[in-house]
Each structure stands twice: as structure tokens, then as C-alpha cells.
Structure 1
Amino acid sequence: MSTASSTEKDWTVISLLKTSADFLKQKGFSDARLTAELLLAHVLELQRVDLYVNFDRPVSPKELAQFRELFRRRLSGEPVQYILGQEEFFGLKFEVNPSVLIPRPETELLVEQIIDDFSGEAGAILDIGTGSGAIAITLAKLLPQTQLTAVDICRKALEVAERNAMRHGVEARIRFLCLDALQPDFVSHFTQPFDVVVSNPPYIPLSEKESVPPDVRNFEPHIALFTDTGFEFYEKIARDARQLLRSGGKLYFELHADAHPKVQALLEEHGFQHLMFKKDYQGFVRLVRAESPVSA
């Protein structure tokens, strides 16, 4: 699709969708049709399905200009979620911007597992590296008796998370703290033990940086993606969790696709028991649940 033209044609919803999707496909975008639908629905303030109900609706020059601006941003590689300013996670819509990672379907596995383990029970949960707040806020919505603490090193990320908490009406049950989980005194900021510690930490080693898709590598926050080895947070959180968790409390991690063996060794080294690993939709081991030893 040409993003500028000296002679404008009359565009309808269906003609603009087809032309823009074809152009994106030629440029190698695998999500060409979906991208075109999402961008045009956003401009026209319609649901995606309504685009086809209104397939012959004319697109005004103002709407076309707005669409072209969003289209240019996608052509540059910017993720659709940042362009639209939101992403869906566990059926809930979350504000996202370049200060936070875009929530992934794989991370929903963490939430599902915690809900399965604690459904109907009150408890205290610590979310380390909360980003947009997707994990903590979803748990607050679905476990209404739970009190949560959500921490992140990035103040701008916490501002997004706080807005998301207010959006979903759970801000009174989540305490947001700006803390660095790698600092030696991290544990000292908490006076009461938690029933759950959960983290989707930065876990991509810098050696893999160039293999990460460009729309992730060039737009999402590196502080939430990369570490020197990929294991710094697993090691530190596993060590701290022995003090952060009550006796018998549970630790949950999202895992790098090939981190399973080393994280298992780390957890066992720090005395965790009853390790349970779970695969994602692509067959990779993506989460682990481990239990803190029960005091005698």
C-alpha cells in the first residue's frame, strides 16, 4: 500500500483492508490481514467483526490519514500492541507502551497454574518484575481474597501497572514498589512472608540478542528481556524466596525455552521440593512450580 499519493482514490473498508494486507504480506509480515484489521478497526472505532458488516463503508480522508500514520509505524517494525496502546491478557485489556513488555500467551500459564493451586483461598502473593501488571492484576481479579505486592525496577513500568490496576478496579489490593530484585537487601523490604512468589524475569542471554525478532529487539524494553547469562534472576530469586515464602509456600517461574535443567538444579540446590514443570503450547518447558520446605 502506498503511504502517500498525489491522486487520491475513493477507499472503502474492504478495499483498504485488502490493499494494506496485501502490501504487508509482500513485505514479509506473517500477520498481515490481522494487522490491517486491527489498525483500521482502531481508526474507525469499530470491532474487527464490524469491519465486514460495514465492508462498503467509505473511509474519509481524515480516517485514511490516521490509518496511514499507524500503517507507517507497523511498517517500521513497531509492534501493533504499542501502536494501539493495549494488549489482551487472560481476557482482560491492558495498557502497554515501550516501558513494558507486551504480555504473551505463554505467561497465562503461570496465572492458570496459580489459580488452579489457590482457587478460593486467601493469601499473599509477590510478583517480581511486574511490568504492565498483567500477572498481579489478573490474579487480583480472579482471586478476590488475595493481597498482592508487585515490584519492578522501572518507575515508568510501575506507572503503567498502576493505571492498569485502576482500570480493572483492583488497585486497593495491590501494593506497587519500585525495587531492584538483584540488590542484596531486596528481602529486607518485606516484613511478612508470602504464600506465593511469582516471576516472569528477564531471561534471554545477551548471546542470543541478535536472534530475537526485530520487533521485539528494537522496540521492547531490554531491561525486561536480557541479562548477561539469562540466569541471574532465577538464581537470586530462588535464594531470596527461601526467606520471602512461608513454610510450604510456592515459587513460580516462567522459563526460557531451554532453561529447565539449570533452573531445576538451582531450585534443588536451594532446598525447594516437589518441583513441577509444565510445557507451553509449542511443547517447550515454560513454567516451574516449587515448594518451600515445610518447617518441622
Structure 2
Amino acid sequence: MHAQEVRTRLRSALAETTRQLGEAGVPSPSADARALIAHAADTESPLVLLDDLPETFAERLEKLTARRVQREPLQLILGRAPFRRLMLDVRPGVFIPRPETELAVDLMREYVEGPLGEVVDLCSGSGALGAAVLDELPRSQVLSVEVDPVAAELTAHNLEQAGPGRGRVLEADLLGMIPELAAVAPVDAVLSNPPYIPPEAVPRDAEVLEHDPHRALFGGGPDGLEVPRAVVAWAHRLLRPGGVLIMEHADVQGADAREVAAGCGGFDLFRTVPDLTGRDRFLVARRALGEPTSGSERLSR
């Protein structure tokens, strides 16, 4: 196949795939079309550098496009999702990592006073946060906790890929007693992207509603904060003085999340931090450096 013919086929494929995805309501049809075309062409290189296409290219692209038109998440179609410096494996039935969650690692490094060695990731899902820690902090050790067995298996895989031998997974429910988790205290940081959606809130995107497991979305209780409350309670139990909890939450839950941390006691800093779009997204809570007193510092937005 001549290079000019390849370029002609690629231009035609890009235009047609973008059209189909746009008509299906896919939010980023052009970018997704390029990703699907590269996957169908079995290449990691920029499309402009291709000088040949597999014989199965057209058939593969048609099938891939049909899946995306049905609003199957692009990450599941490709079998991977970018997260900070990593390309993580993803699987059906496991929460897909989101770009907004990436900021949690930066906040951990900013707010923890002293060394960062032992980190716990609660409600790990795909293991994205723990894997990023292992990748970026070569001396770190990560314990990830996940209730779903399929997600726990994926977490173990992604941790091992990111930091061989330095991560382990505990399959357990944070709402119950977990002696193995309690035994790892004290730790330097607790990270968590727990389920937090209230029961009456229905995700608008088909990709989320139909493909993310509901157990990973809805946090329990009338306000969606049953699991986040358990996360805060475990952080209080696990963190060393000066250690920090970074927990993601919905953009309307900032004040409630700070109230949960304040009610737990033992933290001397509570702060809500926005994501890169300016929406309230993270609770930062620091374990008291000394014995908590009535004069403890409490910071909030």
C-alpha cells in the first residue's frame, strides 16, 4: 500500500468515525476517533507517521466505532486508561480512573509533613492512586483496600506493574472491622476516592450510568457519605501525627466533609481544595501533631 493511499484512507476514516461519534453524542468525537483509529491500526505512533495499515483495519475500526457509538467508555474499548505518568489496565465492572483524581497525589506531597513512606489507598478501584504513588515515590510502600474482588484483583495487577513488590491489596469492607488494616498504623498518608454520590442523584453520562459499577458510585446513606465517613474514621485511626488524609468528594460536599473530619476529632487542619476546573473536590485533613486541644488550628475555604 502506497503512503498516499494510507493517508487517504486515514483521512476518510477520521472524518467518518468523527461523524458517527458526534451524532451519537460522544463528548469528544474527534479525539476518540483518533484513538480508535490508532487502536484499529495497532499502532502507538502518531497517525501521520503510518505508512501501512493492517488488512483487518477497516473491520476492526467498524467494530470499535460501534462500541463507542453505544457509549461504551473509550478506556474499556482500549483496555487502558492514562493516569498521571502511567497507563493503567482497566476492566469491565471496575471504576474507571478520572483525570480529576490525579491531583490527590500532588496534594498528598504538598501537605504531608515529614517523610512519605507508608501510604494507604482506601476504596482503590483500579488501583490508580496507589500505583501513582509507587511510580512517583520509589521508596514508598502502598496498602490498597477494596471491597470488590474483581477490582481488588485489578488493583493488585496495576500496583505490581507500577512498583514490583512494594504494593499489596486487602479485600475488605471499610464499614466492618478489619484487624489487618488496623495493624498497619501508623502510616504517613491515606488517599481515597470513595463512592460518594447520594441515592437520588443519577449520573447524566451513559458511560458512567451503564458501565461504572453502582457500588463504586453511590456512597450510602441519605447524603452519600456513609462510606466517606468510614474513610475519615479509618484515616483517624491509621495516620501518624502530621500524616494527611486526601479524600475526593462531590463538588457540593465540601462543608459536609470538613464537618465529618471535625466531628471525628484528632485532626488539626481541615481544608477543601478545588480541582483544576475550580470545583470543590478534595478534603485535606491533617492528623494532629500533638494531643488535640480546643485551640487546634482549623482551616477551611
TM-score if structure 2 supplies the norm length?
Answer: 0.87
Rounded to whole Å, the distance in 2 between the matches of 1:120 and 1:291 is 12
Q: Indicate the residue corresponding to 2:281 in structure 1.
A: 286
Question: Is 1:204 aligned to 2:200, yes or no?
Answer: no
**What are the residue-to-residue correspondences of 1:229-240 with 2, within 5 Å?**
229-240=223-234
Aligned residue type for 2:66: R
Q: Deviations over 1:100-137 (max 9, x none)?
A: 21111111110111123459834211110111111011
Rounded to whole Å, the distance in 2 between the matches of 1:193 and 1:259 is 28
| RMSD (Å) for aligned C-alpha atoms | 2.1
Rounded to whole Å, the distance in 2 between the matches of 1:246 and 1:120 is 11
3-state SS of paired residue (1:226): coil
Aligned residue type for 1:74: R
- TM-superposed CA distance for 1:20, in Å, is 1.3
Q: Deviations over 1:29-86 (max 9, x none)?
A: 22111111101101112236x21234xx675552211111111111111000000000
Rounded to whole Å, the distance in 2 between the matches of 1:33 and 1:240 is 43
Q: Which moved more, 1:234-243 or 1:130-139?
A: 234-243
Question: Is 1:52 aligned to 2:48, yes or no?
Answer: yes
Q: Is the 8 A contact 1:115 1:139 kept in 2?
A: no
3-state SS of paired residue (2:201): helix
Question: Is 1:173 aligned to 2:166, yes or no?
Answer: yes
Q: Indicate the residue corresponding to 1:17 in structure 2.
A: 14
Change (3 A) 1:234 1:187: farther
Q: Indicate the residue corresponding to 1:7 in structure 2.
A: none
**What are the residue-to-residue correspondences of 1:12-161 with 2, within 5 Å?**
12-47=9-44, 50-54=46-50, 62-118=56-112, 121-161=115-155
Q: How many residues align?
A: 281
Q: Deviations over 1:132-181 (max 9, x none)?
A: 1110111111112222110100111121122212322x131112110111
Rounded to whole Å, the distance in 1 between the matches of 2:128 and 2:26 is 27
3-state SS of paired residue (2:125): coil
Aligned residue type for 1:281: L
User: What percentage of residue pairs aligned between the two structures are identical?
Assistant: 30
Q: Is the 8 A contact 1:121 1:145 kept in 2?
A: no
TM-score if structure 1 supplies the norm length?
Answer: 0.88
User: Structure 2: 5+ residue runs without aligned partners?
Assistant: 1-7, 292-301
Rounded to whole Å, the distance in 2 between the matches of 1:246 and 1:59 is 56
